[in-house]
A and B are shown apart, each in its own frame.
Chain A
């Protein structure tokens, strides 16, 4: 862990307004995550944790407040600039894996590299290395439907790693998996963190959340607690 700040949300609001009422999905939060940190964001559904994850993941923008990601203010970026940030800085791991069913494992992992304009040989090398990392080298030509849930989630981890981003966001990464496979996935995520990648896991499952040294609790659009577990703070 370094002292460099990876995520910095200041006075962040996300307000959905319609004619009758307004919903404050994020109601004035301040959050700092340092480079190399591993945090869990927990909260019941409707607490704003998913909205927060979308904001952190540059999939959505704030109504007001500022968001500085990896030293860049992304609050007022254009759609194309945000796409570039997602491509270079972020890797996503979704609950439903979100693989493209018509593409095989290799092609799914290739996607972020295609959009970054990487050359064929480099892509090939990179894909081989990340597939090896998640232990799916022999499944490269398989289609998602031919794989188990755990394998599919490992493909999505490989895809998230392909562009070698400094930050990985995992949204309920074990939500669709049995507990044994879920533990394997969490172990893989922990290894990524040890290698220096900043990890943010969003979950409603406390046992998953407790894998992380730091737990941020959301409720009703606000952060109600931000704890660092003792053994970590003792380091």
Chain B
């Protein structure tokens, strides 16, 4: 008895018992579809996060100093000195001072967060491009100029899209001259890359009333040398501050690694939950195969009387179980894709359905058919021909 014959027979019996076959397959269909949907959406979400983190630049290292005491501290001169001594490791650095406040131009007001940076900031965040005017200069920093570079969102909201260069806006009550505009990248949306205000960090320190800068950004000269760049920073900070708890150093690529492992864990957990449905589906297949073997005891007897060996019967029922579950798997894959894509579009996450997920789902569903079909198939193959033939 060859495989093709068994397969055709299995297809015949599936088509012959449509309702029963569909009900049997339901567990597998739901299981496979949920795996495809979950993996697709998580993968899509993760792709989104990854690409937005990558746009920050994978060579970026952020330093935040969490505990500044009066006895041990690190100030921007220390950091600048460190940077100048290590230009082989770092291509750029900037202190970052974030303050939020109300922006005002004539009668238009807007609440934005402003970032105090130095003139090297553009080398760290390379997505920042000046479309009008100029960016901050070294002398703006040293002389604490009240100048600002604003994003497309601010231009839209405060200036109604007109050229703002040379105009004055108030940031938290202090007048600043607009000297540049950042090129639009994100349709001038709020909270996007286009929603930004850059001012000299020295001015920002004075404005915020704090004494020291607590956060810095570095750009590693070479991403392959990231570990050395991170550890050099850590050593310097440890020397100055004397405690590992007083600072944190992290870079985008380690953040991406973390995100990756987080997403894999999440995927694993959710797929694990979805797999319960596959298990239930497998039990459904086992149940129906037991019924099928009982119903067809006489057929088994007839086959044995004309020369079918135990393994012929075994393979016939195994192929039938695998065909049922594989058909369920295929339906589940299509249902999963059919649901994941519109749902993904609805929640704004383009679902990423990978060939890998499809292949694994298919193989797993065939495997379930074989595993759960094995017990009934084996009991069929062990029937005594004469008992099977006499079975009513």
Q: Residues of A at under 8 Å CB distance from B?
A: 54, 57, 59-60, 79-80, 83-84, 86-88, 92, 94, 98-100, 102, 111-112, 114-116, 159, 163
Chain A nearest CB, measured from B143 CB (Å): 94
Q: When A and B form their complex, what is the total count of cross-chain residue pairs whose Cβ atoms lie within 8 Å?
A: 67
Top 10 nearest A-B pairs (CB, nearest first) are A87-B307, A115-B307, A112-B306, A59-B386, A83-B309, A60-B386, A59-B385, A80-B309, A98-B302, A111-B306
Assembly CA distance A1 to B141 (angstroms): 120
Which one of B9, B305, B384 lies within 8 Å of A57 (CB-CB)? B305
Assembly CA distance A83 to B306 (angstroms): 8
A100 and B299 form a contact (CB under 8 A): yes
Chain B nearest CB, measured from A169 CB (Å): 10
Chain B nearest CB, measured from A152 CB (Å): 13
Which residue of chain B has its CB nearest to the CB of A169? B305
A115 and B302 form a contact (CB under 8 A): no
Chain B window 360-392, contacts with chain A (Cβ cutoff 8 Å), 1 for yes, 0 for no: 000000000000000000000000111001000
Assembly CA distance A83 to B388 (angstroms): 14
Residues from chain A with a CB closer than 8 A to the CB of B302 are 98-100, 111
A102 and B13 form a contact (CB under 8 A): yes
Residues from chain B with a CB closer than 8 A to the CB of A159 are 306
A115 and B310 form a contact (CB under 8 A): no
A114 and B386 form a contact (CB under 8 A): no
Q: Count B-side interface residues using an 8 Å CB cutoff.
A: 25
Residues from chain A with a CB closer than 8 A to the CB of B298 are 98
Residues from chain B with a CB closer than 8 A to the CB of A94 are 389
Which one of B1, B2, B305, B311 lies within 8 Å of A86 (CB-CB)? B305
Chain A: interface secondary structure?
A: helix
Question: Given that A59-B385, A84-B307 are known contacts, is A114 also in contact with B2, CB under 8 Å in the complex?
Answer: yes
Residues from chain B with a CB closer than 8 A to the CB of A57 are 305
B284-319 contacts to A (CB < 8 Å): 298-299, 301-312
B209 interface residue (CB < 8 Å to A): no
User: A79-B309, A102-B299, A114-B5 known; 8 other A-B pairs, CB under 8 Å?
Assistant: A59-B386, A79-B310, A83-B304, A86-B385, A88-B307, A100-B299, A102-B12, A112-B307
Residues from chain A with a CB closer than 8 A to the CB of B301 are 98
Which one of B305, B308, B311, B386 lies within 8 Å of A98 (CB-CB)? B305
Q: By CB atoms of chain A within 10 A, which of B306, B310, B386, B389 has the most?
A: B306
B389 and A115 form a contact (CB under 8 A): no
Residues from chain A with a CB closer than 8 A to the CB of B303 are 100, 111, 115
Which one of A59, A102, A114 lies within 8 Å of B305 (CB-CB)? A59
Residues from chain A with a CB closer than 8 A to the CB of B312 are 115
Residues from chain B with a CB closer than 8 A to the CB of A84 are 307, 309
Residues from chain A with a CB closer than 8 A to the CB of B299 are 100, 102
Question: Given that A59-B389, A100-B299, A114-B5 are known contacts, is A83 also in contact with B12, CB under 8 Å in the complex?
Answer: no
Which residue of chain B has its CB nearest to the CB of A51? B386
Assembly CA distance A87 to B384 (angstroms): 16
A83 and B386 form a contact (CB under 8 A): no
Assembly CA distance A80 to B9 (angstroms): 23
Chain B nearest CB, measured from A212 CB (Å): 22
Chain B nearest CB, measured from A107 CB (Å): 9
Which residue of chain B has its CB nearest to the CB of A103? B9
Assembly CA distance A94 to B303 (angstroms): 13
B306 and A87 form a contact (CB under 8 A): yes
Assembly CA distance A60 to B298 (angstroms): 16
B306 and A115 form a contact (CB under 8 A): yes
A114 and B389 form a contact (CB under 8 A): no
Assembly CA distance A221 to B16 (angstroms): 44
Assembly CA distance A86 to B310 (angstroms): 13
Assembly CA distance A114 to B16 (angstroms): 23
Which residue of chain B has its CB nearest to the CB of A120? B2
Residues from chain B with a CB closer than 8 A to the CB of A112 are 306-307
Assembly CA distance A114 to B301 (angstroms): 16
Q: By CB atoms of chain B within 10 A, which of A54, A57, A60, A83 has the most?
A: A83
Assembly CA distance A116 to B309 (angstroms): 10
Please list 14 pairs of residues, one from A and one from B, whose beta carbons are closer than 8 Å in the complex, sorted by A's number: A59-B304, A59-B385, A59-B389, A60-B386, A79-B310, A80-B309, A83-B308, A83-B309, A86-B304, A86-B306, A94-B389, A111-B308, A115-B307, A116-B307
Assembly CA distance A194 to B269 (angstroms): 74
Residues from chain B with a CB closer than 8 A to the CB of A102 are 9, 12-13, 16, 299
A114 and B309 form a contact (CB under 8 A): no
Residues from chain A with a CB closer than 8 A to the CB of B306 are 86-87, 92, 111-112, 115, 159, 163
Which residue of chain B has its CB nearest to the CB of A162? B306
Chain B nearest CB, measured from A228 CB (Å): 29
Chain B nearest CB, measured from A106 CB (Å): 13
A92 and B386 form a contact (CB under 8 A): no
Chain B nearest CB, measured from A165 CB (Å): 10
Which residue of chain B has its CB nearest to the CB of A101? B299
Residues from chain A with a CB closer than 8 A to the CB of B308 are 83, 111, 115
Chain A nearest CB, measured from B388 CB (Å): 9
Residues from chain A with a CB closer than 8 A to the CB of B13 are 102
Assembly CA distance A116 to B305 (angstroms): 13
